[in-house]
Structure 1
Amino acid sequence: MPIPSNGAANGTSSPRPKILIPEKVSPDGLALLQSSFEVDEKRGLSAEELQGIIADYDGLIIRSETKVTASLLDAAKKLKVVARAGVGIDNVDVEAATKNGVIVVNSPVGNINAAAEHTIALMMAVARNIGDACASLKAGKWERSRLTGIEVKGKTLAIIGVGKVGLTVARAAKGLGMNCIAYDPYANQKLAAAASVKLLPGLASILTEADFLTIHTPLIASTKGMIGAAELATMKPSARILNVARGGMIDETALLAALEAGSIAGAGIDVFTSEPPPSGADSSAARLIAHPKVVATPHLGASTVEAQENVSIDVCEQVRAILTGELPRSAVNAPIILPEEYRTLKPFVELVERMGALYMQHFARTAHSTGTTAAGSTGPAFSTDFELAYEGALAGLNTTKPLFAALVKGLLKPITDSEGLNVNMVNAELVARDRGIAVNEQRRRQGGDAEGYSSSVVLRARTGASGTAGAGAGAGGQDEHVIAGFVSNNTPYISKLSRFSTSFVPEGALLICRNFDSPGKIGIVGQRLGKAGVNISSMTVAPVDKEIGQDEGKDGKNEALMILKIDREVEDEVIKNLISEEGVLEASVVVL
C-alpha cells in the first residue's frame, strides 16, 4: 500500500523526507532524489554513528558494506525504505525490517551482465592460469611449460542456480562451445531449455560431471556451506570452481584442502565468507587468495561503470516511488504488484483504510466514549473479527494485500500513531496477528453492494455483543456492523452504514447522527451546532436500506442517519446537547 510522505494531513508544510546514503551512489541516481528530498551523503560511518542518527531519516540507501541490523531498524522510527544498490540483501535483517514496516528493495537486474561477464572472465583466467602466469612474469620468470592451460570448448559447465545471472552465464558459455548442465529446484524449465541448459535432478548429479562449477544463488540457510569437503570429494580432480555470487556457500577451509591435495584443479573466487577477508597464516581465506591455483578478486562482480550506474538509478527510482506513495519494482518483503493492477487498487486502498477508521470511530468508539450514545446504550465492544469482501472486478486481481493492510492501518491508526508504528503491506499481517485481529478476505465476482459500479468493498465487523445498541444499530441492537463502499472517478464513497443506505465521501470531520425520520430534525441539529459555532458544509440523509426493511422505533417512527460534514471536531458537551427527544438518538464525530 502507499507509504505516505511526511506531508501534514491538514495541508500545512512540513520538512521534506530525509534520505541517508552512507555508501557511494552515482550522481545520476542522486539527481533523481535531490529535487524532492533532503539527501545526506555520509560515508565512513561506524555502526554506532549510523545508529545514532538513523532516527532522523525516512530512507536509507546502501551497498554491501553497511549492516542493517535489528537494533538499527528498531532505532529508525521514521524509516520507510531500505534500498540495497545490488542484488544481495544478506547485509539487511529483512525479518526485522518487516516487523518494523520497512520496505526492503534491491536491484536484481542492474548488474546481471556485469556478474555474468566476471564469471566468464574468472573461468578463462583459471583455465589458462592467468593469475599465476602474471605473477610469474612480473617476478622475472618465463615458465611457459609449467603454465599450460586448458580450453573451455567442449567442457561441461555446471551451474547451481539458473536465475537471470545463471542463464546469462549459460548463454555466454554456449557461445564458447561449452555444454551446460544445471541444478535449481525452482528453475523455469522453459527458459532453461531456451538457453540450452540441461536441468539435472540434484546437486550430486551435476558435481560429478562438472569440468567447471559456478554458483549463482542467494546466500540463505539452504545454500550456506553447500559446497564442503564431501561435495568436493565427488568432483573430478581436473574440475575448477567459480564463485561470483556470495561468500559462505563454499567451505573455504575444505576448498583450500582440496586444492593443496590436488583433488581440485583450480578456483576463481570473487566473494568471501568475511569481507574483507581476514589476513594471517591461520586464515583459510587469506591462504586461498595466495594459492597459485586460485584467481581471486575483491568482490568485483558488479563493479563496472555500467552496473554501478544501473543499480544506483534503479534503487533511487524505487526510493522516490515509495516516499511519494507509489510502489517499488523489486520489494524483497512485499508482493510485486503490476502497474495496471496498482492503478485499480490505489483508490480502493484509500477507501478501505477510511472504512477501518470509520468503524473504529463510529461503531467501536461507543464502547468507551461517554455522552455519544442514547441513554442506556452501552455500545458494542471493539471487534477483532472482520470480514472484508471484494465484489465485482476487484475480486479478480492477483493480490489484495494492500487492501488487507489498509484495513489494519485504518483500524489501528489512533493506536499506532501514538506508538510510532508504521502499518503497511509489509508488516500488516504481523501487526494484525500481534493485536489479535482476524480478517477473513472474500472474493465475490458477481454482484456488488454499489449497484452500477464494477467493484465494491464490504466490511463486516462481528462484535459478539448481541443486544447492545451501538451507533447505527437498531433498537434491538446487533452483533454485526456493516460498512460498504465503492469508488467513482477515483473518489471513495461509503454506500452503507449497517442498516442505512447512503452515499458520502469519507473525508474530513463528519458528524453522524441517528434520529427519527420526522420533520424538523435537520433544523434542530443545525441550530444547536450554530450556537456552538460549528459550521456545516454539507449534509447527507441516509434512510434504512430497502432490502432490510424499516424498523419502527418509538411511537412507530422510522429512523434515518444524518451525515454532516463540519468544519472542525466538536466537544463532548455539544454532542450531549444534540441528544434529546426532539433532537437525535445517537451522535458520533468521525475524523478521516
Structure 2
Amino acid sequence: MDSLKQMKVWVAELLDDEAIAALEEVCRVDIKYKVPREEQLAMIKDYHAVIIRSETVVDKEFLDAAVNLKIVGRGGSGLDNVDIDYATNRGVIVCNTPESNIVSACEQTWALMLASSRNTSHAWQFIRSGKWDRKRFQGSELYGKTLGIIGLGRIGGLVSQRAQAFAMRVIAYDPYIPDSRFEAFGVEKKAHLDELIRESDFITIHTPKTHETIDMISDREIGLMKAGVRLVNCARGGLYNEEALVRGLKSGKIASLGIDVWVHEPQQDHPLYEFDNVVGTPHLGASTHEAAARVGSEVVNEVISGLRGEIVKNAVNIPSVSEQTYAKLKVFIALAEKMGKLYGQIRRESVKKVEIEFSGRDIENPKDAKILSVVALKGVLEASVTEGAVNFVNAELLAQQRGIEVRERIALETGDYSNMIRLLVSEEGNGVFEIAGTVLERRIPRIIRVGDYSVGFIPEGRLIYAPHKNRPGVIGKVGMAMAEYNVNIAKMVVGEGLNNSIMILNVDNNVPEAVLEKCLTFEDINDMKVVEL
C-alpha cells in the first residue's frame, strides 16, 4: 500500500472538485471550510498537510499546534497569511502556485480599469432604477494615455502586453527587475516611484505585500499624481492606503478607483462603498473556472510531492525552480538525493563537512547547484535522524545545529563524463569519503565511484554493499550464502580499488540479518550493508 494513504490532508478553503478527486486517490482527505479558529487549533494536530487560500492564518500558534504538519499548500500566490520563517524553523514546507492565476488576475485588472474609467457599474445600477441618462456617465478612453505599472513581475508583465493593444504608453517601476525585462516587454523604466506617479494617467500595482509595499500609495503619493488619475489594485489589500484613497476621491484628485482587494476581508461595510466612481469586487482576481482548475491541480501536485519527500517546485522556504529548470534538473535531483542516501546508509561516521561539486554544461548556475546541494544533504542526514524528521526545508538547519559545514561548488573538469556530481564528506578522524555520479544520455543516473572504488551501477531498488579483499572465491561464497537464505541476486557489479574490491548486488527480496552475519564471518569480507534506494 502507498504510504501516502496514511497521510491526512485538510482542505481548508475552496478547491476545484477535480483537484480534490486527484488528492483523494493518494491521501486521506477532509474537506472542511470556514472552520472557527479554536477548532482549527484543536484539529490541525491530526494532519500532515493543509491546503489554504487567503483566509486561513498559519501563524506561530497554528504551527505549534500542527505537530504532524509537513507542508502548507497555498492555492494562489499571496502568502501574507503564513509565517514562513517560523514554518521553516519547524521544518514545514510552504508552497504556493504563483503562475496558476496570473492570466485571471491580469484580466481582472483590465476589467476594473475599463469598468471604472467608463462608469459601467454605476450606469448599470442607474438604468436598473428606471432612469436614463448618458451625459452624467461620460468616461475616459485608454487610447494614448500613460499607464504606470508598479511591479513588472508575472502579472505586471501580462498587463503591460495588453496595454499595448490599447495603444497606451507604458511605464513601470520595479527596482528588483533587470533592465532586460523592461526591454523585452517594450516598457519604459522609471528609476523612482515618484517619476511614475507624476507621469501616469492610470496606475495599477502588482507587488507582493511586504513591509516595503504596505501603504506604498498614500496621501503623499496621491498629492504628486495628475488631477483625474485613475487607480486599480488587484494585488493585495493595503498596498494603497484605504483612508488616503477616500480622501483622494473626495477631493476629486482621483477620478476613479477599481479595487479587488481589501485590508480586511471579508467585510460588510467600508467608506469606499459610498462612491459611485469606485468599482469594487470581493477579491475575484483568481475567480475563473480556468484559474480554479490550474490552482487546484498545481497545489495538489505540490502537496503530494512534499508528502513523498520529493522536491517541491514552488516551495518558498527552500530553493524553488521553474518548470523549465525542473525539467532539466529532475534526473540530477534524483541522482543527488540517492547519492546522499547511499552515503547515509553505508557510513556511520561523525560528519564534519559536506561538499557537493558539480561539473559539466548541464549544471552551470549556482542556484541549480544550491538545489542539488540541499537534496544531497537531505539524503546524508536521513539515516541519522528519526524517520521523516529531515526534509528539504530543515536539512541545512539540522546540519548547522550539528556543526556540519555545507558547501557547493561548480568545477570545469568532468574527466571521462559530460557531467558529474561529487559528494565529498569529511568525517571525524577518517579523512574524506567520496561518492560520485553522472547522468548518461540525459536520462540514466549512474554511480561511478564509492569511496576508493570505481564502479558503475544504477542507484535504484534494494542493494547490498560489500567491500572485500580481492581474492579468488569471495564472490562465490557470497552468492552461495545468499542462495542458502533464498535471496535472489538480480544484478551484480564489481569494482576495484587500490588494494581491495567491492560488490554491489541488486536483490529482489528481503535480506535476512542472518545472511549478513554469515557473510561477515568470511575473512575476506570487510563490510556488508543493505541499502534501500
Q: Specify if TM > 0.5.
A: yes
What CA deviation, in whole Å up to 9, does each residue of 1:456-502 have, x standing for no partner?
Answer: 4333333453xxxxxxxxxxxx533333445678464363324x455
The letter of the residue matching 1:272 is: W
**Is the Cα–Cα contact under 8 Å of residues 347 and 487 in structure 1 kept in the other structure?**
no
CA distance in 2, matches of 1:164, 1:158: 16
Q: Distance in 2 between matches of 1:273 and 1:36?
A: 37
Contact 1:157/1:178 (<8 A) preserved: yes
Contact in 1 for aligned 2:101/2:295 (Cα 8 Å)? yes
Q: Residue type of the partner of 1:385?
A: K
| 8 A contact 2:357–2:409 mirrored in 1 | yes
Residue in 2 that maps onto 1:405: 374
| Pair 1:385 & 2:357 matched | no
Quick one: which amino acid aligns to residue 320 of structure 2?
P
Aligned to 2:342: 355
Give the Cα–Cα distance (whole angstroms) in 2 for the partners of residues 174 and 535 of structure 1: 69
Q: Does 1:414 align with 2:383?
A: yes
SS in 2 for 1:256: helix
Deviates more, 1:204-213 or 1:192-201: 192-201
Paired AA for residue 421 in structure 1: A
Q: How far is 1:423 from its partner?
A: 1.4
Kept in 1: contact 2:171–2:189 (CA 8 A): yes
**Which residue pairs with 1:116 in the alignment?**
106
SS of the equivalent of 1:436 reads coil
| Aligned twin of 2:16 | 26
> 1:242 aligned to 2:232?
yes
1:211 Cα shift? 1.9
Whole-Å Cα distance in 2 between the matches of residues 177 and 524 of structure 1?
81
Distance 1:431 1:444 in 2: 27
Partner of 1:295: 279
Query: Residues 165-184 of structure 1, C-alpha deviation per residue, up to 9 Å, x if partnerless?
Result: 22333344343343322212
Matched-pair contact (CA < 8 Å) for 1:20–1:59: yes
What is the distance in 2 between the residues matched to 1:111 and 1:149? 29
Q: Distance in 1 between matches of 2:418 and 2:7?
A: 37
CA distance in 2, matches of 1:428, 1:462: 17
Taking the aligned partners of 1:563 and 1:179, their CA distance within structure 2 comes to 66
Which has the higher Rg, Structure 1 or Structure 2?
1
Q: Distance between the aligned counterparts of 2:418 and 2:91, measured in 1?
A: 32
Structure 2: runs of 5 or more not aligned: none
- Stretches of structure 1 lacking an aligned partner (at least 5 in a row): 1-5, 9-13, 280-285, 365-381, 466-477, 551-558
Change (3 A) 1:437 1:194: closer
Q: Distance in 1 between matches of 2:410 and 2:185?
A: 40
The question of 1:446 aligning with 2:413 is answered: yes
How far residue 231 of structure 1 moved from its aligned partner, in angstroms, is 0.9
Q: State the alpha-carbon separation in 2 of the partners of residues 564 and 67 from structure 1.
A: 50
Separation of aligned partners in 2, 1:524 and 1:134: 89
Question: Given the superposition, is the C-alpha separation of residues 298 and 539 from structure 1 closer, same or farther in structure 2, using an over 3 Å criterion?
Answer: closer
How far has the Cα of 1:243 moved from its partner?
0.9
Q: Look up the equivalent residue of 1:150 and give its one-letter code.
A: S
Query: CA 1:586–1:249 in 2, change beyond 3 Å: closer, same or farther?
Result: same
Matched letter for residue 389 of structure 1 = E
1:306 aligns with 2:275: no
Partner of 1:371: none
Give the aligned residue type for 2:194. A
2:401 maps to what in 1? Answer: 434
For residues 517-548 of structure 1, the C-alpha deviation after alignment (integer angstroms, 9 at most, x for no partner) is 56677788899x79x97969587766542xxx
More divergent stretch after superposition (291-300 vs 393-402): 393-402
Count of aligned pairs between the two proteins: 522
Q: How do 1:163-312 residues align onto structure 2 when only pairs under 5 Å count?
A: 163-187=153-177, 189=179, 192-193=182-183, 195-277=185-267, 279=269, 286-312=270-296
The two structures, once aligned, show a CA RMSD in angstroms of 3.9
CA contact (8 A) 2:126 2:132 kept: yes
CA contact 2:148–2:204 (8 Å) conserved in 1: yes
Query: For residue 321 of structure 2, what is the aligned residue in structure 1?
Result: 336
Q: After TM superposition, give the deviation of residue 416 of structure 1 in Å.
A: 2.9
Structure-to-structure mapping, 1:57-72, within 5 angstroms: 57-72=47-62
Q: 2: distance between equivalents of 1:351 and 1:234?
A: 58
8 Å contact from structure 2 (residues 359, 411) kept in 1: yes
How has the CA–CA distance of structure 1 residues 524 and 62 changed in structure 2, closer, same or farther, with 3 Å as cutoff?
closer
Alignment partners' CA distance in 2, 1:464 and 1:421: 24
Alpha carbons of structure 1 residues 75 and 413: separation in structure 2 relative to 1, 3 Å: farther
Going from structure 1 to structure 2, the CA distance change for 1:586 and 1:202 (only over 3 Å counts) comes to same
Q: Please state how far the C-alpha of 1:573 moved relative to its aligned partner.
A: 12
**Partners of 1:177 and 1:388 in 2: CA distance:** 51
Q: How does 1:16-95 map to 2 (within 5 A)?
A: 17-95=7-85
Separation of aligned partners in 1, 2:31 and 2:40: 12
CA–CA distance in structure 1, aligned partners of residues 100 and 476 of structure 2: 65
Please state how far the C-alpha of 1:399 moved relative to its aligned partner.
0.9
CA contact (8 A) 2:100 2:294 kept: yes
Q: State which of 86, 105, 111 in structure 2 corresponds to 1:96.
A: 86
2:208–2:235 contact (8 Å) kept in structure 1: yes
1:155 aligns with 2:145: yes
Aligned mates of 1:505, 1:132 — CA distance in 2:
68
1:462 aligns with 2:462: no
Counterpart contact for 2:331–2:439, Cα < 8 Å: no
Q: Percent identity?
A: 35
Label 1:578 to 1:262 Cα distance change in 2 as closer, same or farther (>3 A).
closer
Letter matched to residue 341 of structure 2 = R
Give the aligned partner of residue 483 of structure 1: 435
TM-score by length of 1: 0.75
Q: Which amino acid in structure 1 is aligned with residue 329 of structure 2?
A: Y
CA contact 2:9–2:49 (8 Å) conserved in 1: yes
